[in-house]
C-alpha cells in the first residue's frame, strides 16, 4: 500500500453560508465582499447590482436606493423606508414595522451578503418575501 495523505482546510464563514444556501430549493445568492471590491463598492446598490431578480438602483444622487426583490419592496421614492423586504444583519432584523431606514444598509466591512428570493426567506418569518441577510 502507498502512503495516503489527507489534507483539510477550515471553511470560511462565506463558504459555510454558501453550502447552507445550496440546500435551499429556490433562488438564492451569496455575494462575497471580495467580489464586490473588484468593482465599485460604495453602496448596497453595488453589492446587489448583478443579482438576478433584484432591482437596486440609486435615485436622486444620494446613498438611498430603491430595492425590489422579484417585485417585493418596491417604493416610490428613495427617501422612504424600505417596505416589503426584510433586511437582517448577523441574523438580527433591521426591518421594523415601518420598513428599513436606508442609513442602516451600509455594506462597508461586510464579509458577505445573502439574498433569498420569494418564499425561500420564510425561514426568517412568514411575512418575509425577500431577505438579504448580511454578515
Q: Are strands 92-93 and 88-89 parallel, antiparallel or unpaired?
A: antiparallel
Q: Tell me how far CA of residue 24 lies from CA of 5, 18, 44, 52, 74, in angstroms.
A: 33, 10, 24, 16, 25
The pLDDT tens digits of the residues spanning 69-115 come to 776 665 555 555 666 677 788 878 777 766 777 677 777 778 888 88
Query: Which domains, and CATH codes, for the chain?
Result: 13-134 (2.170.130.10)
Q: What is the pLDDT of residues 88-98, one digit of tens each?
A: 888 787 777 66
pLDDT in tens, 39-63: 877 777 888 888 888 887 776 666 6
Cα separation, 42 vs 62, whole angstroms: 11
Of residues 96 and 131, more confidence is placed in: 96
Amino acid at each position: 500500500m502507498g502512503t495516503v495523505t489527507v489534507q483539510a482546510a477550515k471553511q470560511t464563514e462565506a463558504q459555510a453560508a454558501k453550502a447552507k444556501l445550496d440546500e435551499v430549493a429556490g433562488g438564492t445568492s451569496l455575494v462575497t465582499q471580495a467580489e464586490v471590491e473588484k468593482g465599485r463598492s460604495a453602496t448596497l446598490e453595488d453589492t446587489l447590482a448583478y443579482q438576478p431578480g433584484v432591482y437596486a438602483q440609486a435615485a436622486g444622487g444620494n446613498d438611498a436606493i430603491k430595492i425590489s426583490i422579484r417585485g417585493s419592496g418596491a417604493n416610490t421614492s428613495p427617501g422612504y423606508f424600505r417596505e416589503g423586504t426584510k433586511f437582517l444583519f448577523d441574523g438580527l432584523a433591521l426591518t421594523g414595522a415601518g420598513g428599513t431606514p436606508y442609513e442602516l444598509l451600509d455594506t462597508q466591512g461586510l464579509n458577505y451578503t445573502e439574498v433569498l428570493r420569494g418564499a425561500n426567506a420564510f425561514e426568517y418569518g412568514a411575512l418575509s418575501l425577500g431577505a438579504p441577510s448580511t454578515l
